[in-house]
Amino acid sequence: MENSKTFICISNYFKGSDFLIQLKKMGNKVYLVTSEKLRKSPWPHEYIDEIFYMEGQDIDWNLEHLLLGVGNLMKTTKIDAIVALDDYDVEKATYLRENLRIDGMGQTTGRYFRDKLAMRMRAKSCGISIPAFCSLFNDPDINTFADTIPAPWVLKPRSEASATGIIKVFDKESLWIHINEMGNNRFKYLLEQFKPGDVYHCDSLIVDSKVIFSLTSKYLATPMEISQGGGVFRSANIPYGSEDDKVIKKVNEQVMKGFGLKHGASHTEFIKSKEDGKIYFLETSSRVGGAHLAEMVAEASNINLWKEWATIEDALVKGTKYVLPKAKKGYAGIVLTLSKFQHPNLSSFTDPEVCFKVPLDYHAGLIVKSDKHERILELLDDYADQLVANFTAVVEQNKVAKLH
C-alpha cells in the first residue's frame, strides 16, 4: 500500500487494542511483541500482521533475544517506529531504538518516564515542586533526611508501576529495618516524604513537544489506598477552568517540556497538599493511563487517547500534520473494584448515565457520564457503596519479589 509504514508495538500486558486497530486502519503494517502468557488474550488479530511471543512477563524478558528477533525481522522488513504500550515496555523500546538506531525516545529520556528517582531529580532541576526525597545510595544522606524531614515517609520502588511495592514508614528505626531487609536491592528504591492530600491525574496528548490536549481528573480513592487497603477505585474529571484545573495543567506542561516528551500520550499524577494547598508533582509516564481511565477520558471529552496516540505516531513517520478532533467539555467518572465473581452481574445499575461496564474477569466496574460534575460524584459514591456491599473482594498485596 502506498505510504504504508511498519510499526513494532510492544506490550507485555493485554491493552492498546484501539491503538493497534487505528494504526492498521491507516494503512500500516503492524507487528505486536507480547508475552507468551498472553497468547490466548483477545487481541484484534485481523488488525495485526503478526504477533511475536516472548517467554516470561515484564522483567523476565531476555532483551538480547528481543534484540536478535527484531534485528532478524529487519533483514527483510524496514521498521519505521517502535512503540511501547505499557510502562514496563518503555525500557524495552528504548533499548531497541538505541541499538537499531530507530527514531524515537532514547534510554536517557526514557528513564525520566520510568525511574521515579530520575523523575524527581529531573523535576527538581526544572524548578517543579516535588515532595522532599532522597536516594538510598549513601547512609549519611539517609540519616540527614530522616533527621530533618518530618515523618511519615514512603519507600518507593524506582521502576514499578502505579503504587506497587510502596512501604509507608513512621520512624527512623523502622526505616532502617526496611532498608536493611532490602539488602542489595536498596538502590532500587527511593525515600520520599509522605504528603497527605488529594491526588490528581492529567491525561495528555503531545505533538511537537507541546501539550495539545489534557484532561484533569481527581482520584476519589487513591491508587496507594487501593493497593494497600483494598476497596473501590474511583476517579472523575474536575470542573473545567477551576483553579486546580488551571494550575495542574500548567505544571503538566512544565513536566512534559522539561522531561523531553516530543510526541505521544502521557499520564501524570500530582498531589494537592492538605498542609499548604500547593500542587506537587508525583510521577509521570509516556503512555495512556491504565485502569480504564482512557475510556473515562473518552466519555468526558470524545477524545480516544489510544486512537489519537496511534494517529500521532502515524503522522510522525509519514511526515503529515496531525489534527486533534474537536473535544467536548463533559464529565465522566469510573468506579472499579476486584470482584468475588468472575463475571459479576451489573444489571442492577440502570441509571441512564451508565455508559461503559468493565469487561475484565473478577472485576466489577462502571463508567458514568453527565453534563453535570455533581451528578458524577453522586453516582460514584452511591455505586461504590453498592459494589462494596455486593461484589468487592479484597486481595492481599503481594510483596515485590523482583525489581527492575
Query: Does the pLDDT at position 398 exceed 60?
Result: no
Query: Does the pLDDT at position 229 exceed 60?
Result: no
Answer whether residue 236 is part of any domain.
Answer: yes
Q: Which of 214, 219, 220, 197 is nearest to 271 (CA)?
A: 197
For the domain that residue 136 is a member of, what is the CATH number?
3.30.1490.20
Peptide bond into 152 cis (omega under 30): yes
Min mean pLDDT across 28-42, 150-164, 271-285 is at: 150-164
- Section 217-233 average pLDDT: 71
Q: What pLDDT, on a 0 to 100 scale, did the predictor assign at position 28?
A: 97
Min mean pLDDT across 226-230, 240-244, 274-278 is at: 226-230
Residue 390: CB atoms within 10 A of its CB come to: 15
Q: What pLDDT, on a 0 to 100 scale, did the predictor assign at position 403?
A: 53
Containing 87, the helix (H) or strand (E) segment is none
Distance between CA 251 and CA 127 in Å, rounded? 10
Q: What pLDDT, on a 0 to 100 scale, did the predictor assign at position 290?
A: 85
What are the cell numbers at 183? Answer: 539488602
- Same domain membership, residue 152 and residue 16: no
Higher pLDDT pick, 362 / 5: 5
What are the cell numbers at 72? Answer: 532478524
Min mean pLDDT across 13-17, 225-229, 238-242 is at: 225-229
Distance between CA 140 and CA 151 in Å, rounded? 17
Query: Does the pLDDT at position 43 exceed 90?
Result: yes
Q: What pLDDT, on a 0 to 100 scale, did the predictor assign at position 199?
A: 95
Q: Identify the domain boundary among 150, 178, 193.
A: 193
Strand order in the sheet with 167-169: 133-135, 189-193, 153-157, 167-169
- Same domain membership, residue 270 and residue 332: yes
For the domain that residue 316 is a member of, what is the CATH number?
3.30.470.20
- Same domain membership, residue 176 and residue 228: no
Q: What pLDDT, on a 0 to 100 scale, did the predictor assign at position 24?
A: 98
Query: Does the pLDDT at position 230 exceed 80?
Result: no
Structure confidence by residue, pLDDT tens digits, 299-314: 999 999 999 999 999 9
Q: Which of 73, 61, 55 is nearest to 8 (CA)?
A: 73
Q: What pLDDT, on a 0 to 100 scale, did the predictor assign at position 234?
A: 94
Q: What pLDDT, on a 0 to 100 scale, did the predictor assign at position 2?
A: 61
> DSSP labels for 105-157?
--HHHHHHTT-HHHHHHHHHHTT-----EEESS-HHHHHHHHHHSPSPEEEEE
- Same domain membership, residue 344 and residue 211: yes
Q: What pLDDT, on a 0 to 100 scale, did the predictor assign at position 159?
A: 83
Answer whether residue 97 is part of any domain.
Answer: yes
pTM of the model: 0.91
What is the average pLDDT score of the chain?
A: 91
Domain hosting residue 30, numbered range: 6-104
- Same domain membership, residue 284 and residue 146: no
Q: Which of 381, 215, 384, 241 is nearest to 300 (CA)?
A: 215
**pLDDT band at 3, cuts 50/70/90?**
confident
- Same domain membership, residue 29 and residue 42: yes
The SS3 assignment for 149 reads coil
- Same domain membership, residue 378 and residue 276: yes
Distance between CA 111 and CA 90 in Å, rounded? 9
The SS3 assignment for 101 reads coil
- Same domain membership, residue 224 and residue 76: no
Provide the number of structural domains found in the chain: 3
Answer whether residue 156 is part of any domain.
Answer: yes
- Same domain membership, residue 248 and residue 162: no
Residue 67 Cα to chain centre, angstroms: 25
Q: Which of 156, 73, 158, 167 is nearest to 119 (CA)?
A: 158
Answer whether residue 109 is part of any domain.
Answer: no
Structure confidence by residue, pLDDT tens digits, 159-204: 876 566 889 999 999 999 999 999 999 999 999 999 999 999 999 9
Q: Which of 263, 282, 290, 291 is nearest to 87 (CA)?
A: 290
- Section 146-159 average pLDDT: 94
- Same domain membership, residue 148 and residue 57: no
Distance between CA 134 and CA 232 in Å, rounded? 31
Q: What pLDDT, on a 0 to 100 scale, did the predictor assign at position 75?
A: 95
